[in-house]
Amino acid sequence: MLDKTTAAVILLIVFSAVLVQCEENATDSFLPLKKAGHCISEKCQLPNCRCSGLRLPSADFKEHVKEIPQLITVTFDDAVNVINYEQYQQVFDGLVNPDNCSVRGTFFVSHEYTDYTLVNALYQQGHEIALHSVTHGSGTDYWREADVQVLMAEFGQQIDMLVKFAKVNRKHIRGVRLPFLQISGNNTYEAAKRLGLLYDSSWPSQRNPPMWPYTLDYRSTQDCQIGPCPNAAIPGFWVSPMVTWFDTVGYSCAMIDGCIFPPKDEVDTLFEWMVDNFKRHYDGNRAPFGMYLHAAWFQRGRHYFEAFRKFLLYVNTLPDVYLTTASGVIHYMKHPTLGKPFPGCPKKPNTTCIKRNCGLRKMETGETRYMNVCDTCPSVYPWLGNALGETEHY
Ligand SMILES: *[C@@H]1O[C@H](CO)[C@@H](O)[C@H](O)[C@H]1NC(C)=O
Ligand SMILES: *[C@@H]1O[C@H](CO)[C@@H](O)[C@H](O)[C@H]1NC(C)=O
Ligand SMILES: *[C@@H]1O[C@H](CO)[C@@H](O)[C@H](O)[C@H]1NC(C)=O
Ligand SMILES: *[C@@H]1O[C@H](CO)[C@@H](O)[C@H](O)[C@H]1NC(C)=O
Ligand SMILES: [Zn+2]
């Protein structure tokens, strides 16, 4: 048996080694951040570097714009619950891409009020599960001023929650969207890169023709709508610009539900408006077309859902239109091709989730929260600082 002092010394050594290891990682390639320089396309090559801009995925594509597959992403933000889950099922019901692979959406999930068993169900259906923070914050100031530590906690701990409670494979969690689309300059991108993520989808762009996704190796030429925007080099990290829509009086909107003057609440009028926005991409440079919204938008007008479905059914008849995930778009950007965008169909994950309904005390407020998770209930309501809801934290 070791005596207590020896044991303590050994522990201390092990502990210091861990600390050194952590510090080593913290001081790796991107601390201090380097200011991003002008992008030279000869130096910035696919698959891991792409200059920002309005140009096509590859110079050889110029004469073949009509052969560039038109990618569409449908993304929903915030908590997944039993009500919006049913709508999500209806949104994607029966849609199949021209390559016979199933149509997939992207869910930027925030923690509070999320039913993790339904996140697991969406995941198993092949949809992408991405990050939208643990707390969602109390307003834009919180996110504008967030430093790298706060951002790593908000998104890193949310990864832990999705892995534990929804049984999402950690390596399938690739992207982030900031609440209120409020980025905080370099910090957002530094945190996301350090967490091993691949892309951000928070940064609106009103540029016309629309922007393609690009990496932050070099200075971004994207318009900065909600600053501060980054100006450091974050190598290999992708920005998927949220190309804005235009409402009926010409105001731009990064998210469909942010459009102030949508058309009259009639199926055909709404449908035509969506087609107009889509045509700027489809008849233009074929940059990916984003349909970014919250399920609550469907409740805003009697015909909103029907119009949305009508639009999806319409684009789904076009032979060169593919409804894919946000990370599917990045995958394409890394390996752009004319014609068929993807080599095969992505494999659907197969996990087992035994549903548990857990009544849990939320320590911060003393309320009881009910939360559905896979397999095992946590001890208390999980929150920032105690992502797995363990008792020992208190
Ligand atoms: C540091 O990086 C190494 C290799 O990249 C990794 O194995 C290790 O887990 C990291 N340590 C910490 C504390 O992040
Ligand atoms: C981002 O990082 C660059 C490079 O270190 C620095 O020059 C710039 O001031 C930073 N921007 C902000 C908003 O912190
Ligand atoms: C898709 O499936 C249909 C019917 O099963 C078939 O006719 C068609 O050739 C398939 N298309 C591709 C690209 O595999
Ligand atoms: C999923 O995995 C289970 C057990 O591992 C297996 O019985 C089932 O057939 C699998 N389902 C699919 C669709 O692969
Ligand atoms: Zn949100």
Query: Of the residues 300, 334, 368, which one is the last residue of a structural domain?
Result: 334
Closest CA to 150 of 187, 111, 189, 104: 187
Statement to judge: residues 117 and 265 lie in one domain: yes
**Three-state DSSP class for residue 356:** strand
Statement to judge: residues 221 and 365 lie in one domain: no
Q: What is the pLDDT of residue 55?
A: 76
Is 169 within the bounds of a domain?
yes
Is 40 within the bounds of a domain?
no
The finding on whether 99 has its CB within 6 A of some atom of ligand 3 is: yes
Distance (Å) from CA 95 to ligand 3 centroid = 14
The answer to whether the Cα torsion of 171, 48, 24, 132 is positive or negative is negative
Distance (Å) from CA 26 to ligand 1 centroid = 9
Statement to judge: residues 232 and 158 lie in one domain: yes
Q: How far is CA 16 from the centre of its chain?
A: 36
pTM for this entry: 0.89
**Three-state DSSP class for residue 338:** coil
Is 347 within the bounds of a domain?
no
Residue nearest to atom 6 of ligand 3 (CA): 100
Ligand number with the minimum distance to the CA of 99: 3
Distance (Å) from CA 22 to ligand 1 centroid = 7
The finding on whether 21 has its CB within 6 A of some atom of ligand 1 is: yes
Q: Please tell me the distance from the alpha carbon of residue 100 to that of residue 210, in angstroms, as a whole number.
A: 28
Residue nearest to atom 4 of ligand 2 (CA): 35
Q: What is the pLDDT of residue 347?
A: 94
Q: Which atom of ligand 2 is nearest to the CA of 231?
A: 1
Is 350 within the bounds of a domain?
no
Is 47 within the bounds of a domain?
no
Is 313 within the bounds of a domain?
yes
Is 5 within the bounds of a domain?
no
Distance (Å) from CA 103 to ligand 3 centroid = 15
Helices (H), 221-325: 267-280, 304-315
Is 203 within the bounds of a domain?
yes
Instruction: Give me 131's structure tokens.
Output: 């990050």
Q: What is the pLDDT of residue 393?
A: 59
Residue nearest to atom 1 of ligand 2 (CA): 232
Q: Give the domain extent around 364.
A: 355-393
Q: Please tell me the distance from the alpha carbon of residue 146 to that of residue 367, in angstroms, as a whole number.
A: 27
Distance (Å) from CA 35 to ligand 2 centroid = 6
DSSP codes of every residue in 38-101: ---TTTS-TTT----SSS-SSGGGGGGGGGS-EEEEEEEES---HHHHHHHHHHHTT-B-TTSP
Statement to judge: residues 372 and 314 lie in one domain: no
Instruction: Give me 109's structure tokens.
Output: 């999930």
Residue nearest to atom 10 of ligand 3 (CA): 100
Distance (Å) from CA 106 to ligand 5 centroid = 14
Q: Please tell me the distance from the alpha carbon of residue 295 to that of residue 311, in angstroms, as a whole number.
A: 16
Statement to judge: residues 360 and 321 lie in one domain: no
Q: What is the pLDDT of residue 394?
A: 55
The finding on whether 100 has its CB within 6 A of some atom of ligand 3 is: yes
Statement to judge: residues 193 and 283 lie in one domain: yes
Statement to judge: residues 361 and 319 lie in one domain: no
Number of domains in the chain: 2
* Average confidence (pLDDT) per 10 residues, the chain, 394 residues: 51 47 49 90 94 78 90 98 97 97 97 98 98 96 97 98 98 98 97 97 95 97 95 97 97 96 97 98 96 97 98 98 98 95 95 97 92 97 96 66
Statement to judge: residues 168 and 274 lie in one domain: yes
Statement to judge: residues 145 and 111 lie in one domain: yes
CATH code of the domain containing 138? 3.20.20.370
Strand partners, 42: none
Distance (Å) from CA 82 to ligand 2 centroid = 43
Q: Tell me which residue has tokens 């080599």.
A: 343
Q: What is the pLDDT of residue 17?
A: 45
Statement to judge: residues 307 and 190 lie in one domain: yes
The finding on whether 101 has its CB within 6 A of some atom of ligand 3 is: no
Q: Please tell me the distance from the alpha carbon of residue 291 to that of residue 103, in angstroms, as a whole number.
A: 14
Give ligand 2 pocket residues (Cβ under 6 A).
Answer: 32-35, 185-186, 228, 231-232
Mutate to test the pocket of ligand 3, among 95, 96, 100, 342 (most ligand atoms within 8 A of CB): 100
Statement to judge: residues 329 and 361 lie in one domain: no
Distance (Å) from CA 193 to ligand 1 centroid = 14
